[in-house]
Amino acid sequence: MAAQGGKDLLIKIDLDGQGLFETVAGLRATRISFNAQSVDVTSLDSAGGWRELLGGAGVRSAQVSGSGVFRDAASDARARQVFFDGVVPRFQVIVPDFGIVEGPFQIAGLEYAGTLEGEATFEMSLVSAGELTFTAL
């Protein structure tokens, strides 16, 4: 797999609940992580006293964080409204040459910054709030 530009990672949000996704932001620095809790089922009968885990069990989650610039004032307003309303719309996180992660996310953090002669930037963190799907690209 060839190196890919971090600027190509996109966050899209479902604008109307009908699957109409629009780009909210292009991210300059990003991180996506997938997590799964394990369920320990070790007992006195476990072979050799080794720990045993129950496959397919446990809570799975995903977190996305990044910083960059909003695409426009409308996308900034939409993200801000989602945060203040505390709703969990569907998002798409598009990772070039990897895939698309789609599902409900909550905006858990939203920060703004800027310099005197530079553009306004933001940092946003999303946490999964339901079942996610993955489509390979």
Report the predicted TM-score, pTM, of the whole model to 2 decimal places: 0.81
pLDDT of residue 84: 94
Torsion angle of alpha carbons 127, 106, 128, 126, nearest 10°? -30
In 3D, which of 49, 12, 44 has the Cα closest to residue 27? 12
Domain ranges of the chain: 6-136
Is the confidence at residue 76, as pLDDT, over 70? yes
Could you report the per-residue pLDDT of 24-33, keeping only the tens digit for each?
877 777 788 9
- Look at strands 121-128 and 21-36 and give their pairing: unpaired
Residue 125 gets the label, from left (phi > 0), alpha (psi -120 to 50) or beta, of beta
Distance between CA atoms of residues 136 and 84, nearest Å: 32
pLDDT of residue 77: 86
Looking at residue 84, its amino acid is F
Torsion angles phi and psi, residue 79, rounded to 5: -60, -45
* Average pLDDT score over the chain: 87
Per the structure block, which two tokens stand in for 107? Answer: 């905006």
- Look at strands 10-14 and 99-113 and give their pairing: unpaired
Mean pLDDT value of segment 93-98: 87
Statement: 6-136 belongs to CATH 3.30.700:
no
pLDDT band at 50; cut points 50, 70, 90: very high
pLDDT of residue 6: 52
